[in-house]
């Protein structure tokens, strides 16, 4: 579903991604962990081309990412993205947030888009918030609305960049539950997170990144029980004691 080969990315002189190779199969859930600044967000943003790749190749469902314009917009429509900061459109109701892209990008009628949107809002458990503005919702509700908004495009892949890092602790669970359910429904997912519980529960593979490289890649149990590199061991020692 996702095939990344020899991906490199520079910000000026700063070499942020180094020779990344990553294949994600249909229906697979890959959790990406690693210290802050290791390039996890940049990798996510390269996957739907919010950042351009410096060199290397990214194929989504066998198709190379186009460079600009409408083709690129179409690719992004197939790749859902959930941000740490939710990024709900502040001037639109929750329902309109979910309906906008299906109408403008997929050409759905208002009635069709509204039906899909209400179904999805019910699925993430916030059906009764549909008419509210984003600012009136709790962080957990906003993030669930953002997930519904991404799902409304019927993406082939979902990318999550630290979806629970901006949430108060008591709201983390409600968002993770939605993601676990989504994984169980067979969605292909790449999830950057520090929630090790989620990785154990839902991931097929864990990717550990450090300093722009993929240092280690393994099944969750193998990774958490017996990491093979010192860097992964040190990182785990730090996050797991907190």
Partner 1 sequence: MSALLDHLPEFWQGLIVTLQLTAASFAGAAVMGLVIAALRVSPVPVLRGIGTAYVETLQNLPLLVLLVLAVFGLPEIGLQAGLQVTATVVIALYEGAYIAEALRSGVNAVSSGQGEAARALGLTFGQSLRHVVLPQALRTVIQPIGNIFIALTMNTSLAAAVGVVELTAAANRVNLLEAQPIPIFVGAGLAYAVIAACAGLVTGRLERRLAVVR
Ligand X SMILES: Nc1ncnc2c1ncn2[C@@H]1O[C@H](COP(=O)(O)OP(=O)(O)O)[C@@H](O)[C@H]1O
Residues that bind partner 1 (CB under 8 A): 48, 50, 68-70, 73-74, 76-81, 83, 85, 87-91, 100-101, 104-105, 133, 135-136, 146, 149-150, 153
Rank residues 114 and 195 by Cβ distance to Mg ion and give the closer one. 195
Calculate ∠ Cα 126-129-132, nearest 5°. Answer: 150
Partner interacting with residue 231 (select from partner 1, ligand X, Mg ion, none; CB below 5-8 Å by kind): none
Interface with Mg ion (CB under 5 A), residue from 38, 41, 142, 193: 41
Position 164 contacts Mg ion (CB under 5 A): no
Rank residues 14 and 91 by Cβ distance to ligand X and give the closer one. 14
| String marking each residue 41-80 x if it binds ligand X according to CB under 6 A | xx--------------------------------------
Position 37 contacts ligand X (CB under 6 A): yes
């Amino acid at each position: 579903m996702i095939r990344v080969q020899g991906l490199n990315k520079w910000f000026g002189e700063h070499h942020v991604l180094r020779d990344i190779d990553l294949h994600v199969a249909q229906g697979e859930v890959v959790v990406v962990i690693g210290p802050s600044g290791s390039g996890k967000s940049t990798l996510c943003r390269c996957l739907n081309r919010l950042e351009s790749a410096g060199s290397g190749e990214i194929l989504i469902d066998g198709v190379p990412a186009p460079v600009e314009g409408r083709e690129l917009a179409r690719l992004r429509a197939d790749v859902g993205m959930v941000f740490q900061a939710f990024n709900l459109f502040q001037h639109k109701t929750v329902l309109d947030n979910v309906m906008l892209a299906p109408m403008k990008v997929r050409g759905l009628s208002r009635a069709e888009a509204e039906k899909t949107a209400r179904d999805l809002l019910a699925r993430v458990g916030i059906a009764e918030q549909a008419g509210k503005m984003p600012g009136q919702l709790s962080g957990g509700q906003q993030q669930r609305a953002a997930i519904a908004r991404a799902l409304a495009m019927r993406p082939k892949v979902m990318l999550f960049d630290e979806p629970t890092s901006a949430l108060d602790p008591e709201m983390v669970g409600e968002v993770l539950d939605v993601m676990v359910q989504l994984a169980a429904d067979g969605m292909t997912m790449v999830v950057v997170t520090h929630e090790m519980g989620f990785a154990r529960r839902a991931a097929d593979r864990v990717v550990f990144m450090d300093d722009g490289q993929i240092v280690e890649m393994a099944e969750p149990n193998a990774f958490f029980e017996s990491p093979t590199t010192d860097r992964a061991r040190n990182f785990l020692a730090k996050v797991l004691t907190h």
